[in-house]
Amino acid sequence: MSVQERNAAEQAAAAAEPDRCPNCGAGRAGPYCQQCGQKRAAPRELAARNLLRDVLREVTDLDSKVFTTFRALLLRPGLLTAEYLAGRRGRYLSPVKLYLIVSAVYFLFAWDAALDIANFDQQLAASPVTQSLPIPPNLDRAVFLRQWFDKAADYSAYFRFASVLGLALALALICYGAARYFGQHLIFAFHYYSFDFSFYALLILLIALFQFVSGLRVSAWSLTAGTLVLPVYLFFALRRAYGETAPAAALKALALLACDAVLTMAGDILALALSAVVVSAELR
């Protein structure tokens, strides 16, 4: 039997049976299942030409979403949140997917460089707390401090990643009485931290390129100066996503920035305490 005859036989057999979705078993009245959304399969879909066309369609659709999402994220504060809450979501990456992608890039490739620029090891080693830290006599101090610094950096990244929940809670408290769901604040927090991580990843890349080309070491204040962008971004994001007046947006932006600083500090303290306990247990 030829390919054409086999396809015709399959179509005739399918037409004789009730049109049901093979994925969920629900009845179908069109090319897509109304229950699960799966597209009706056709015998010719497995042809190499059709498979290649589907691959190209998926790739170009992803490229379009990525470009549109990051352009809105970086250049139009609050637009992604406003669009998501308005139900216009098909053109953009989802808030969770965007946050996971950006945070993965940031913590895998930019986090260690940021700690190096900020002289994390030297500042921690020179702090009075570290100098007075009681270390068991059976442990080598240099080995303990080295492992402590490394684990503290890792744990600090974990706490920083999870701080999106803390910022959403802070936003819910700041906007208390506005009759908004917590999920709305969480979407805003996802988008804000996606911008935060993207901005610092780009800033760290520029600093690293400058240091590589010039051979000069950039001061840790370069990262601190970058925080001046964040209150401006929050101001416009709150204006667009929440419809806040200018004075209210300014006050809430400063309050959120202060909450973010507290979350970062609390995460660092917890990371240092936890890493000290873990390293002490590992070296004994």
Q: How many CA atoms lie within 13 A of 202 on its CB side?
A: 10
Among 166, 182, 174, residue whose Cα is nearest residue 248: 174
Distance separating alpha carbons of residues 247 and 239, to the nearest angstrom: 10
- Assess whether 24 and 137 both reside in one domain: no
Distance separating alpha carbons of residues 282 and 150, to the nearest angstrom: 14
Domain total of the chain: 2
Q: Which tokens hold the place of 23?
A: 């994925």
Instruction: Please state, rounded to an integer, the average pLDDT across all residues of the chain.
Output: 80
37 within a domain of the structure (yes/no): yes
- Assess whether 42 and 99 both reside in one domain: no
The pLDDT tens digits for 162-221 are: 899 999 999 999 988 777 889 999 999 999 999 999 998 898 888 888 888 888 877 767
89 within a domain of the structure (yes/no): no
Among 232, 218, 226, residue whose Cα is nearest residue 199: 226
- Assess whether 153 and 214 both reside in one domain: yes
The pLDDT tens digits for 163-176 are: 999 999 999 999 88
Q: Which tokens hold the place of 181?
A: 């769901």
The pLDDT confidence band at residue 279, using thresholds 50, 70 and 90, is confident
- Assess whether 219 and 279 both reside in one domain: yes
The 10 Å Cβ neighbour count of residue 180 is 15
**What torsion, rounded to 10 degrees, do the Cα atoms 145, 271, 222, 96 define?**
140
185 within a domain of the structure (yes/no): yes
- Assess whether 114 and 18 both reside in one domain: no
- Assess whether 101 and 241 both reside in one domain: yes
Confidence (pTM): 0.75
176 within a domain of the structure (yes/no): yes
Q: Which tokens hold the place of 282?
A: 């590992």
Q: Which tokens hold the place of 67?
A: 């470009």
- Assess whether 167 and 260 both reside in one domain: yes
The pLDDT tens digits for 59-110 are: 445 567 888 999 999 999 999 999 999 999 888 999 999 999 999 888 888 8
63 within a domain of the structure (yes/no): no
- Assess whether 160 and 24 both reside in one domain: no
What secondary structure letter does DSSP report for 44? G
Q: Which tokens hold the place of 91?
A: 């053109």
- Average of pLDDT values for 25-35? 68
69 within a domain of the structure (yes/no): no
80 within a domain of the structure (yes/no): no
Distance separating alpha carbons of residues 208 and 144, to the nearest angstrom: 29
Of 52-56, 124-128, 240-244, least confident by mean pLDDT is 52-56
265 within a domain of the structure (yes/no): yes
Write down how long the chain is.
284
- Assess whether 24 and 164 both reside in one domain: no
- Assess whether 103 and 27 both reside in one domain: no
Distance separating alpha carbons of residues 157 and 151, to the nearest angstrom: 10
Distance separating alpha carbons of residues 111 and 82, to the nearest angstrom: 29
Domain that holds residue 152: 94-283
- Assess whether 41 and 99 both reside in one domain: no
